[in-house]
Chains A and B, each alone.
Chain A
Amino acid sequence: GAVVSQHPSWVICKSGTSVKIECRSLDFQATTMFWYRQFPKKSLMLMATSNEGSKATYEQGVEKDKFLINHASLTLSTLTVTSAHPEDSSFYICSARDHSFSGANVLTFGAGSRLTVL
């Protein structure tokens, strides 16, 4: 089945530095990928929709200059947390839409990346 690989699975960084998280679709092409943030024991919060070859669509309240998203190919989207601060510490999850399913609405999720900003 479809697999989404997310890297790194965890990262610790100093305040003020930038961190890049990669999301790759394996064995399928994903024109659309989604980035979520998940707080402990909370639901998923959609941050942005990443579209291959065009600008990402950010949800209200998400700073696009803070969370840079690049979707340069059909199998790779990256999320860069710029000038990270401790409040950015969270679990970031990506998902990709696998169009091989009829209805084209099934999302396959990455395992998530835990970011800790010191």
Chain B
Amino acid sequence: AQRVTQPEKLLSVFKGAPVELKCNYSYSGSPELFWYVQYSRQRLQLLLRHISRESIKGFTADLNKGETSFHLKKPFAQEEDSAMYYCALGDYGQNFVFGPGTRLSVLP
């Protein structure tokens, strides 16, 4: 069965510091991994997906199949990055699983 874990419920960093939001998954096939973000009082929205291999708002995430991880990174955090971040896994079928989420708080 698919499973997505995000070990940190809350992560606080200072503005300008690097940030890494951890995500690990378990899946027997070749999954598609995503990061979704929910800013305060806004709807969930796609941040990035692993097959795109792009940087969005300075964030990047690399799929590491050996470690079954898809950590989200940004070298210099900004206050506007404060939000709830969800790692998600899709299996190209009907199944789509979200992790428990990590609340990122960027302090001034």
User: Which residues of A are interface residues toward B (Cβ below 8 A)?
Assistant: 32, 34, 41-44, 46, 49, 57, 93, 95, 97, 102-112
Contact = CB atoms under 8 A, between A and B. Distances in A.
Contacts of B49: 103, 105-106
Interface in B91-106: 92, 94, 96-101, 103
A111 B94 contact: no
Contact of A43 (B43, B94, B100): B100
A97 B88 CA distance: 14
Given A44-B98, A46-B98, A104-B92, A93 B46 contact: no
Interface residues of B, number: 22
Interface of B: 32, 34, 36, 42-46, 49, 51, 86, 88, 90, 92, 94, 96-101, 103
A43 B92 contact: no
Given A43-B98, A93-B44, 18 more contacts: A42-B100, A43-B99, A43-B101, A44-B98, A44-B101, A46-B96, A46-B97, A57-B94, A95-B44, A103-B51, A105-B90, A105-B92, A106-B34, A106-B46, A106-B49, A109-B44, A109-B45, A110-B43
